[in-house]
Amino acid sequence: MCPESTVEPQVALADVDEDVLEELLAVALVQATADEVTPPLGSTSAWNPERIAWFRDYHRAAATGLEGPAREKTWAVVAGGTVVGSVRLKSVGPDAVEPNAVEPGAVETGIWLATRFRGQGVGRLALQLVADEARARGFAVLEASTTPGNKAAQSLLASLGAELIFEGTLVKARLLLR
């Protein structure tokens, strides 16, 4: 009998243009809660017109990249040729947009995945790709945050080598890129 082999999913990051944006939105509406993907908007925690408009505006603004007015870049997470979520980098600190500075600062990341793609290694591979992107741009630190109850996110961040810092209602992660 052959031992079972695990096959890593094929994961890539794709720039968010209008077509990809609509794919992302379709996935989010069916495979993620509004609270996982957007800030609270309107009188409900469900998807509503305000949250859908915010989602589109957010990704359009982030299309300009870290050097643009939003100081943020989002990508679609693509697994096996299918859009399954989104990951981002956001400049933090005054020197973050100066990657060639002596102390280039840090970038923050965040990710959401469609529920059916969680727990399959897609998130880890996507975060590794975004960490590689931050490293290539000259950043020294990748930061993230989650809640104390989000053990999956904590495990994911720790698996990349991030230091987890528990601060009350927040868990901060810090991954050195150099």
Whole-angstrom distance, CA of residue 33 vs CA of residue 92: 26
Q: What's the fold here for domain 16-176? A: Aminopeptidase (3.40.630)
Quick one: pLDDT band at residue 6, thresholds 50, 70, 90? Answer: low
Bridging pattern class, strands 106-113 and 141-146: parallel
pLDDT tops 70 at residue 52: yes
Contact 74, 25 (CB under 8 A): no
Q: Among 129, 123, 110, which residue's Cα sits nearest to residue 13?
A: 129
Quick one: pLDDT band at residue 94, thresholds 50, 70, 90? Answer: low
DSSP 3-state assignment of 129? helix
Whole-angstrom distance, CA of residue 27 vs CA of residue 128: 22
Give pLDDT tens digits for 100-137.
333 457 899 999 999 999 999 999 999 999 999 999 99
DSSP 3-state assignment of 12? strand
- Min mean pLDDT across 4-8, 95-99, 171-175 is at 95-99
**Could you tell me the residue ranges of all domains in the chain?**
16-176
Whole-angstrom distance, CA of residue 169 vs CA of residue 85: 25
Both structure tokens of 76: 């679609």
pLDDT tops 60 at residue 147: yes
Whole-angstrom distance, CA of residue 37 vs CA of residue 50: 13
Quick one: pLDDT band at residue 99, thresholds 50, 70, 90? Answer: very low
Which pLDDT score, from 0 to 100, does residue 1 have?
46
Give pLDDT tens digits for 25-39.
999 999 999 999 999
Length of the chain: 178
Quick one: pLDDT band at residue 96, thresholds 50, 70, 90? Answer: very low
Q: Among 7, 30, 15, 33, which residue's Cα sits nearest to residue 125?
A: 7
